[in-house]
Structure 1
Amino acid sequence: MSEHSGTRVDSAQGPMHTGSGNIYFTAGPDLRESDRPSFRSIADDQLARLRRFLVAPDGMGEARSRLADTGTVILDGTPGSGRTSAARVLLREYHQDAGVLHELLPGEEGELSLKHPDLVGSGDRLLLDLSAADTARWAAAQADLPTLRKAVHDQHAHLVVIMLHDSALDPDLQHFRVEIKRPPERDVLRRHLRMHGVPREHYIPYIQSDPTVENFLHERRTMREVADFADLVRRAREAAPPGDGFTQWCATARKAQADRRKNVAALVARLRESPQRALLITVAMLHGAHADIIHRATQLLLRTAGSPSDNLPLLQHKDLAERLAEISADTGPDGHVRFTELDYDTAVRAHIWDHLPDLRQHLGTWSARSVDLNDPHLTRELRDTLVAQLAGQYLRTGHGAGLASLAETWSSTATGRARLEAAVQALTCGLNDPVHGRSFRERIYQWCVNKQPRDEFAQVLIRVCADVIAVSHPDQAMLRLYHLARRERGTSRAREALWDLVGTSHRLRRRLLARLARPGRTSAELDIFLRVCDPDPLTAPYDNARTLVEESGVQDSLTACWRAVLSELQRATWQPYVEHWLHTATVTGHRGDILLDLLVAAAAQCDNRRGAAFAALYASARHAERTPPAGPARATATTDRLLQKISAAQGLGPPTTSPQAEPARGTEQ
C-alpha cells in the first residue's frame, strides 16, 4: 500500500474546505451574535425561582422520599393544588451534570413511546403530566408505566408522573402514589409577597384581618390565582403614593381584577380621533415605556394604519401630557408612561383586539416596525414585551396559526437582528403556551421538514429548536434540527446547533446515529455524521463505566455510516476524522480496538471499493503517525494493529478479536 497525502484540521475556528465543490459565506444579521441570554439559562432561572416561591404542599416530603427511594413518584391532587409546580421542583432537586430534563409527550412527532428502550438516558429527569389526559390516554400510559419504570431504574434516572385526578390506579402502581394537598392560601400569599420584596412589617400585621384579602380568599383559589394576586399587590405598592399601606395596595390589586370591559368600551367610544386611539393603543402595548418611545411609536401606528396627518402647525398640536390625560395615563418622574389605574393596559389590549378586528393585521406590521426603531430607550426587554403583548392576544383568542404566520412573515422581511429576535419571541410565546404549545411544535416540525427556509427564517427556527424546544423536549428539538441540517445550504448553523445538542446527552447521540444509519443517506447527512462520530464522547465512560462504542446498536450505526463515508466521499473529506479515531484508539486501551474494528468492518462492506477503502485507511494511519498524541512508538503500534485487522478481514492473516459488544438499546422509530 502506498501513502497518499491528506488534510489535517485541528481546532478549526472558522469556515474550512476539505473537499471538492463550492464554499459559501453568508453575510447579514446573525442571531448567534445576540447578547440575549440563552433560553436554557432562562429556564434554569425559572425553575430556581419556582423553588424559592413554592410553599411545600402537604405530601411534598413523602413525594421527595418516594422519589429518592424508588426513582418514581406518581402525584395525585385536585387541580390548583400546586401539583405541577411540586413535580418540577422535585425534578430540579436532582439536577446533575449527567442527563437532561425531559417532559414526556408520547404521540407527538419526534417523541418515543413510553416503552421504547432509548427513551431514558443515564441520569435523566422525566416529567409525565397526565393531569389533563382523557381516560383512554391515561389507561394506555398506565399499561406502559412498568416498562418505563424499569428503564428509569436501570438508567439511575428519576420520573415524576402527574396522574389524572379521581381516576383509578393499577394496584401495582399504588406504592408510588402520593397525594398532594393544597397549602394554606395565606401561607402562599405571604411567601410570594416576601419573594417580591415587600417588607414583612408591611403585611404581617394585616394579612389575617384585611377585608380585601378576606374577600379574595373567601372563594377557593388556585395557587396560580393567589400568585397573580400577590403580583398585583406588588405592582400596586410600586405605583402607590407615599403614605399608602397594605390595605390600599390590596384594594388597588382587587380593583385591577374587576371586569373593566364597560369602562374601556366607554373610553374608546369617547376617543373619536385617530391620534387619540393610536396613543391609547400604543400605551397599552408599550406600557411603562419612555415617553419618547410612546410618541414615536404612536406616529408610526398612525402611518401604518393609513391615518392622515392633521396638518396643523407644530406649535398648535396638543402636548403629550394633555393627550395622555385624555386616555387616563400620565408620565411619571422617571419619564415613563403608564395608565393611572393598575393593570388597565390589559383591559385595553383585550378590548381593542376583540372590537377592532380590522386593526389586527396593522398591529402585526406596526409591532415589527416598532422593534426596528433606533432609540436608546427601546431596550431588548421592551421589544420582547411588545411582542409578548401582541402574541398574548393571538393566543387568548385561539389564533395561534395567525401568530405563527406572523413570525414567519417577520423572518422573511427581516432587515436586522431586532426583527429576527421578535420572530423568535413570538414563536417562544406560542411554544410556552399550555394550550397552543403542541400545535406550535407541530407547525415548526412541518417547516423544518417540508420547507427550504431562507437564511433568516432558518436562523429563527434553529434558535427556537435549540434554545426553546430543547429545554424540555430535547428529542423533538434534535429531530427538527436534523431536518434543518440535512437540507442546509450555504451555512452550518443548523449542524452546529445539532452537534451542540447531542453533545449534552449520550441518549441523543445514540438516537441521531441510529437515524443517520438509515439507507439513502445524502452527502449532507454524512457530513453531520462525521461530526457526531467524535470518538471522545463515544469512548467516554458513563453510568458505571459503560460507553456508547461498546453498545451493539451504536456499533451497527457507526459501521453503516462509515461504510457510506468510505464509499461515497473523497478521502480528503473524511481523513481528518479517521485520524482522530486512530489517535483516540492509541490512548483508549481495549476501546481503541473497537474503534479500529469498526473502521475495518465498514471498509469490508464497501463491495467493489473494498480494496481501495482498506488502502485509504492504512494510508491515513501512516499519515496520522506524524502527529501522535502519545509518542511515535504507540502511533506505529496502532497502525500495525490496524494492518493486522485489515489483513484478517481480507483472509490474509489470523482473525483478531475485540471485547464483546453490549446488547442494543433499541432501534430508531
Structure 2
Amino acid sequence: MTGTTGPQHNGNGDIYVTMGTNQQATGRPSFTPFADDQLAWLRRVLVAPPGMGRARSELADTGTVILDGAPGSGRTCAARVLLREHHKDTGVFRELLPEEDGELPLADPEMVGSGDRLLLDLSAADPARWAASRADLSALRKAVHDQHAHLVVVMPHGGTLESDLQRYRVEILQPSRERVLRRHLRTHGVPAEQYLRPDPTVTEFLYEERPLREVADFADLVRRAREAGVPGEEFTQWCAAARKAQADRREEVATLVATLRDSSQRALLISVAMLHGAHADVIHHVAQLLLRTVGSPPDDLPLLQRKDLAERLVEISAGAGQDGHVRFRDLDYDSAVRTHFWDHMPDLRQHLGTWTARSVALSSPYVTQELRDGLVAKLSGEYLRTGRAEELASLAEAWGSTATSGAGLEAAVQALTCGLGDPAHARTFRSRIYQWCVANKQLKGGFAQVLVRVCADAIAAGHPDQAMLRLYYLARREHTGALQALSGLVESSHRLRRRLLHRLARSVPSEADLGIFLRVGVADALTDPYDNGRALVEEKSVQSSVITCWHAVLDQLPRPTWQPYAERWLHTSVDAGDRGGLLLDILVGAAERCESRRGAAFAALYASARDAERTAPGGSSRAALTSDLLLQKISSAQGRSRPITPPEPASPRGTEQ
C-alpha cells in the first residue's frame, strides 16, 4: 500500500519491515510525500510484535503511548507504524528533536500542530536527557490532546518512568524471526512455495539471536540474489548466495588485489565496485578517468596488443551480461571491494572524491541520474561507515561551490541527503547545514541552491521546523529559490506560518525580513480556517506579529514596493466576512504606530484601497464598500467618525469588473 487508505490492522497479525532497495524512489520528487509513502510501506510489511495491540489501543484512547523494548525488538518501526495508522488529511508526521537548532522545547505548545503525528525517539538517550524529556512530557501531552494529535515516545530500555506516566508504557517484545523473514520474502515477491520449504541456510541463520533489522537485510539479499540469479536457480541457491554475501570477505578481496599489480586492473576493479551494474562503456571510461585522476601513466602498449575488456573483467571476477552491464559474479562483492580499498589505501580517498565529481559530469546515454546518485551514495557510504561525516560534508560543499553543471549540484545534494539519512550522523549534517545557512560568509557557486534543495526536501520531510529556520536564513540573504521554498513550506502548515510570523516580529524587521513577510504573511492564508474552524488572523498573538510587520513595511518601504501586496490584502478582505474587518484593523493598527508619519501612512493605505477597487476580482462596487469601511476605521483611529455612504453603481471610482 502506498496511498493513504488500505487494509486496517485491528488485531494480531504481521508487522515489521525494512526498506528494500526496490522501494526507493527512483525519480526526484519532494521528500515530504515520499516520507508518507515510506510510512505506508512500513505498515504494509511489519510483523506485529507482542504488545502492539495494547499500544494501538492506548494511542487511540489517550493520544499518547510510551514504548519500551530491548534493542532489536522492532520498537522504533512499531512506533512509526502506530503513527501511520492515524494518518489524516490534517497534520503531518514528524520526529521531535527538541535539542537541535530550529526545534522548539517540548513544553512549548507551538511544538504541536493540529492533527500532527509526533515521534519522540529517545531509545538511545542517556539518563540526563531522558530525565529532562520526562519533565516536559506532561506539557507536551496536553498540547497533543488540545490539538487532537498523536504522540509515540520510544523510551530507553529499562529507563525510569514516573508513576503518572506508567499507564502509557507498553513493552514491545521481538516477534518470531521466522515470521518476520517470511513476511519480507512474501513482500519482495518470493513465491510462498519456495520459502515455506525447510532450508538449512535459513534454519542456521534464524537460530542465532539477532536484531530484526538483520533479518530484514537478509531477506533483501535473498531478493537481490533471486533477481541476479540465472534461470533454474531456486530458493536454496538464493539463500546460500545471500549468506555468502553476509560473510567476512576481507581476506578473499585482499588476495585478489594482491594479484593485480597493474594499476589499470585495480582502476577497473574499483570502477566496477563503485558503479556496479553500469554499462561496459561507462566502466571503461570511468576506469580510464580514475587512472588520469590519480596520475598513473597511460598504457604504452599498442592498442591492438592490449587485453580487451572482457578478458580484464574475468581477471577481477566480473563480467558483462547480455545487456552489456557489468557485475561481479558474487552478490555484494562490490561492497567488499569498496571496503578494502577505502580501508587499506587511505591516500586514495581524496582522489575518489575528485573522480566521482568528474564521473557524474560525464555525458553518455548510459550515464543516468540513477547511476550518478548510486555512485555518490556508494562514496558517501564509505565516509559514513568510517565516521568521516565532517569530511563528507566538506566534500559536498566543495562540489556545490565549484560545480559547472547541474550534475555537479545534484551530486552535492545527494551527498548531503545520504548524510541526513544516516541515523548515526544525521544530527551532524543537520547542524552543519544550519551553520552554512546562518554564516555571514558568502556561499560560493551554486551551493546555496544545494542547501535550498536539501532543506526543502530532505530535512522538511521529518523535521519541518528545522527546514523552515534554515530556509528563513537563506531567504534573508536573498539566495535564489530560498524564499519560494520557504513560502511553499509554510503553505503546508498553519503552525509553521505562525512560527515564522512570530520570528519576523520578535525584533525590528530588516528589509530582507519585510520581503519575506510580504510573501508569507498574505491575507488569504491568514483567513483560511484550519480544522478547528479558526483562522490565524483571529489569534491575538498572530494579529500582534502581523501588525508589527505591516508597521515596518509602511514605515520603511516605498509605497510601490508594498502596494501590490496591500491590494491583494484588500481584495481578500472583501469576501472574508468578519475576518475581512480584522484584516482592515491590522492595516489601521500598523499605520497608527507610524507616529510622525501616521497621517501619511493612513493616506497611503486609503489611496491603495481606491486603486484596489479597479482590480478587485468581485467588481469595483463591492470593493468600494471595503474602501469606505477602511476610511471609517482610519477616522475612528484619528478620533473622528465619518458616515458610510454606499457609492452609486456609476461611481467615478471605477466600473463593475
Q: TM class, shorter-chain normalised?
A: over 0.9
The whole-number CA distance in structure 2 between the counterparts of 1:205 and 1:565 is 73
Question: Residue in 2 aligned with 1:221?
Answer: 210
Question: Residue in 2 aligned with 1:301?
Answer: 290
What is the letter of the counterpart of residue 575 of structure 2?
V
1:623-645 CA distance string (max 9 Å, x none)? 11112333433212211111111
The whole-number CA distance in structure 1 between the counterparts of 2:157 and 2:165 is 15
Determine if contact 1:128/1:159 at 8 Å carries over to the other structure. Answer: yes
**3-state secondary structure, aligned to 2:167:** helix
Question: Residue in 1 aligned with 2:251?
Answer: 262
1:234-277 CA distance string (max 9 Å, x none)? 12222233332222221121111111111111111111110010
Long gaps (5+) in structure 2: 1-25, 645-657
**3-state secondary structure, aligned to 2:80:** helix
Determine if contact 1:510/1:548 at 8 Å carries over to the other structure. Answer: yes
Matches of residues 650-661 of structure 1 in structure 2 within 5 Å? Answer: 650-653=638-641
Determine if contact 2:35/2:462 at 8 Å carries over to the other structure. Answer: no
Larger mean Cα displacement after TM superposition, 427-436 or 46-55: 46-55
Cα deviation for residue 97 of structure 1 reads 2.6
Matches of residues 177-216 of structure 1 in structure 2 within 5 Å? Answer: 177-206=169-198, 210-216=199-205
Question: Residue in 2 aligned with 1:357?
Answer: 346
Question: Residue in 2 aligned with 1:43?
Answer: 35
Question: Residue in 2 aligned with 1:401?
Answer: 390
1:365-415 CA distance string (max 9 Å, x none)? 000111111111111111111000000000011110110111111111211
Distance 1:655 1:430, change over 3 A: farther
Question: Residue in 2 aligned with 1:456?
Answer: 446
Match of 1:533 among 517, 521, 525: 521
Question: Residue in 2 aligned with 1:58?
Answer: 50
What is the letter of the counterpart of residue 555 of structure 1?
Q
Cα deviation for residue 35 of structure 1 reads 6.6
The whole-number CA distance in structure 1 between the counterparts of 2:27 and 2:245 is 35
**3-state secondary structure, aligned to 2:313:** helix
Determine if contact 2:504/2:513 at 8 Å carries over to the other structure. Answer: yes
The whole-number CA distance in structure 2 between the counterparts of 1:397 and 1:631 is 66
Distance 1:435 1:555, change over 3 A: same
The whole-number CA distance in structure 2 between the counterparts of 1:340 and 1:483 is 50
The whole-number CA distance in structure 1 between the counterparts of 2:524 and 2:57 is 37
The whole-number CA distance in structure 1 between the counterparts of 2:373 and 2:468 is 26
Determine if contact 2:514/2:553 at 8 Å carries over to the other structure. Answer: yes
Larger mean Cα displacement after TM superposition, 130-139 or 233-242: 233-242
Cα deviation for residue 36 of structure 1 reads 2.2
Cα deviation for residue 655 of structure 1 reads 13
Question: Residue in 1 aligned with 2:493?
Answer: 505
Question: Residue in 1 aligned with 2:76?
Answer: 84
Match of 1:140 among 132, 143, 157: 132
Q: Which runs of 4+ in 1 moved over 6 A?
A: none
Long gaps (5+) in structure 1: 1-33, 657-669
The whole-number CA distance in structure 2 between the counterparts of 1:244 and 1:378 is 31
1:429-476 CA distance string (max 9 Å, x none)? 101111110010000000000032135101100000000000000000
Cα deviation for residue 58 of structure 1 reads 1.6
Match of 2:607 among 613, 616, 619: 619
Question: Residue in 2 aligned with 1:374?
Answer: 363
Question: Residue in 1 aligned with 2:311?
Answer: 322
Determine if contact 1:649/1:655 at 8 Å carries over to the other structure. Answer: no
Cα deviation for residue 197 of structure 1 reads 1.2
Match of 1:548 among 536, 539, 549: 536
RMSD after superposition? 1.5
Determine if contact 1:278/1:301 at 8 Å carries over to the other structure. Answer: yes
Match of 1:496 among 484, 494, 503: 484
Identity %: 70
**3-state secondary structure, aligned to 1:338:** strand
Question: Residue in 1 aligned with 2:263?
Answer: 274
Question: Residue in 1 aligned with 2:563?
Answer: 575
Match of 1:487 among 477, 491, 494: 477
What is the letter of the counterpart of residue 287 of structure 2?
T
**3-state secondary structure, aligned to 2:125:** coil
Determine if contact 1:645/1:655 at 8 Å carries over to the other structure. Answer: no
The whole-number CA distance in structure 1 between the counterparts of 2:462 and 2:369 is 25
* 1:311 and 2:303 correspond: no
* 1:562 and 2:550 correspond: yes
Determine if contact 2:94/2:462 at 8 Å carries over to the other structure. Answer: yes
The whole-number CA distance in structure 2 between the counterparts of 1:537 and 1:171 is 43
**3-state secondary structure, aligned to 2:508:** coil
The whole-number CA distance in structure 2 between the counterparts of 1:74 and 1:149 is 11
The whole-number CA distance in structure 2 between the counterparts of 1:330 and 1:414 is 33
Determine if contact 2:94/2:117 at 8 Å carries over to the other structure. Answer: yes
**Count of aligned pairs:** 618
* 1:343 and 2:332 correspond: yes
**3-state secondary structure, aligned to 1:118:** helix
The whole-number CA distance in structure 2 between the counterparts of 1:545 and 1:44 is 26
What is the letter of the counterpart of residue 117 of structure 1?
P
Determine if contact 1:77/1:83 at 8 Å carries over to the other structure. Answer: yes
**3-state secondary structure, aligned to 1:308:** coil
Larger mean Cα displacement after TM superposition, 630-639 or 171-180: 630-639
The whole-number CA distance in structure 1 between the counterparts of 2:141 and 2:339 is 46
* 1:592 and 2:587 correspond: no
Question: Residue in 2 aligned with 1:157?
Answer: 149
Question: Residue in 1 aligned with 2:8?
Answer: none
What is the letter of the counterpart of residue 612 of structure 2?
A
The whole-number CA distance in structure 1 between the counterparts of 2:461 and 2:158 is 31
Question: Residue in 1 aligned with 2:625?
Answer: 637
Question: Residue in 2 aligned with 1:3?
Answer: none
Determine if contact 2:31/2:460 at 8 Å carries over to the other structure. Answer: no
The whole-number CA distance in structure 2 between the counterparts of 1:441 and 1:291 is 38
The whole-number CA distance in structure 2 between the counterparts of 1:115 and 1:41 is 28
Cα deviation for residue 329 of structure 1 reads 0.9
What is the letter of the counterpart of residue 392 of structure 1?
G
What is the letter of the counterpart of residue 625 of structure 1?
E
Question: Residue in 2 aligned with 1:241?
Answer: 230
Cα deviation for residue 184 of structure 1 reads 0.6
What is the letter of the counterpart of residue 358 of structure 1?
D
Determine if contact 2:403/2:445 at 8 Å carries over to the other structure. Answer: no
Question: Residue in 1 aligned with 2:100?
Answer: 108
The whole-number CA distance in structure 1 between the counterparts of 2:408 and 2:304 is 35
1:551-576 CA distance string (max 9 Å, x none)? 11101100000000000111111111
The whole-number CA distance in structure 1 between the counterparts of 2:38 and 2:276 is 24
Cα deviation for residue 513 of structure 1 reads 0.3
Please, what TM-score do these two structures have when normalized by structure 1? Answer: 0.90
The whole-number CA distance in structure 1 between the counterparts of 2:623 and 2:233 is 79
What is the letter of the counterpart of residue 605 of structure 1?
R
Question: Residue in 2 aligned with 1:6?
Answer: none
The whole-number CA distance in structure 1 between the counterparts of 2:520 and 2:584 is 17
